[in-house]
Structures are given as C-alpha cells and as structure tokens.
Structure 1
Amino acid sequence: MSRHIVASVGDIPENGSKLVEVKGRRIALFHVAGEYFALTDRCPHEGGSLCAGKLIGLVQSTEPGQYLYSRPHEMLQCSWHGWEFDIRTGQSYCDPDSIRARTYQVTVEPGDALAKGPFVAETFPVSVEDSYIVVEV
C-alpha cells in the first residue's frame, strides 16, 4: 500500500468531512473527537456519497421505551437512503452480515517528519559518443 498526503489537520472541522481523491478513488475523510477516519465515498447499498452523509450517534434499545445513545458522531448515515455505517469499521447496521463500506487507515503525522530525507533523485548515466547522446534506463 502506498501512502498519500490528502489534507491538513485544519482542513476538516470537528464532526465534519472532506472529499478527496487518491489514484482515481473518491475517499470520504471524517474528523470525530480528535480522530480521523476514511471510507470509500460510495455507499455499498446503491452508490450514494458517504461524504455527503450525516454523522449521528448509535441508538440502542434493550426494551420498548428504553433507549441508550452512545458513540456520538461515529455512525454515518448515507445521504440517499439513510443506511448507517460505523465509521471505525465500515460495518453496515442495516445489513451487518454482508455489507460493509471500505475503510482506509488514517494517520496524522507532523509535516517535518513527512519532509525528512534523505531524498534521492533518480539519476541516469549519460555519455557522449560521436555526437550522439545516450541515456541508459
């Protein structure tokens, strides 16, 4: 897997999202409680944009009339049909056994660590022979 710098930390507000493209893939980035998550931007149900979806919490019930709200902003609701996905795992809560949104690993790294070398430019030997320039590749 190759690594790609896709945004600055300040580009995504708390509980917000940002759409980026990496190697032709649309990826939705999310910022929740100081953590960053990345999922494919395509809902596996019918292809809606997950980046355009709404971050909500998890609502569970042990019995009628009793509700427990937890994990604020960690559930993603698709903008088209409201299918819900866990932003940590991509698991669908509408069909948890067979549908999952693809997730990508996200790290936050200081800029000076990313810019450290040593960087080595690719070079090619060049020689001149009877008025011809020859490059070895």
Structure 2
Amino acid sequence: MSATDPDCLFCKIVAGEIPATIVASDERTVTFMDINPATRGHALVIPRAHARDLLEIDPDDLAAVAQAGQHMARTAKATLRADGINLINSCGADAWQTVFHFHLHVIPRYRDDPLQLPWVPGPGDMDQIQATGLELKEHYA
C-alpha cells in the first residue's frame, strides 16, 4: 500500500482504526458494508491506497477495484437473490461524492425496492448490516 490520508475515514478503515463489516480484502482493495445502505447488501469497494477520486486513482488500483466490484456483484446477486446490481462511482461533490477516497458502490437491486437514484443516505439497521455482511463474506469465495 502506498499513500494514506490521516484524516480520511476510509484510510482509517483500511488501517483498522475504525470498525467496519469487511466482506473481502486483498493486496489492493477492501470491500465492506455501507453503513448508510441504499438497499440490503449495499457494499463499498475501495483501494487500499488513498486516491481522492476517479481522476486521481492509479490505473492498476482502478482495475483491481473494478474486478473486486464485479466479484461482489456476482456474490450479492447469487447470495441475496438480487434482481439486478447498480455499480456507482461519484466523482466530486456535485456528483454526490461525500467521502473523498475513491470508492465503488455495489448496490443490489430488488424488483420491489423503493430506491430511486440518487438516494439520500440514512442510517441503516446495524444488526442487519452486519448479518448481511457475514452472509456475503461466507459466499465471497
């Protein structure tokens, strides 16, 4: 891992300084459950190395995040029986970016879910978030 930002929430998750429901990790990426989920199973994939946004991320880290996002999408679709998946990246505040460490949202979609984009993040049920994260982690292989 290279650059980190000591004030970055996601860098602190990577460093283990802030708790998160980690679903998967490898040498370049960490996948964890979003605590303000749009739908059941909403996860984030981030590079271990700090990059502010899509314009700054190292191309190899971007490729690794994309691959991990695809893997998480397949896992969520199969495990949670999602009807579809949204992969979303927001680059800049005017594009709804709220944490300035590159991240990819993996949002399972269900035929009857109420999500209309953009969603307004709101606190989720932590027990459900953790249980869903464990369920996904078990099937992430």
Task: Give the TM bin, normalised by the shorter chain.
Answer: under 0.3
Could you say which structure has the higher helix fraction? 2
TM-score normalised by L of structure 1: 0.27
Could you say which structure has the higher strand fraction? 1
Larger radius of gyration: 1
TM-score normalised by L of structure 2: 0.26
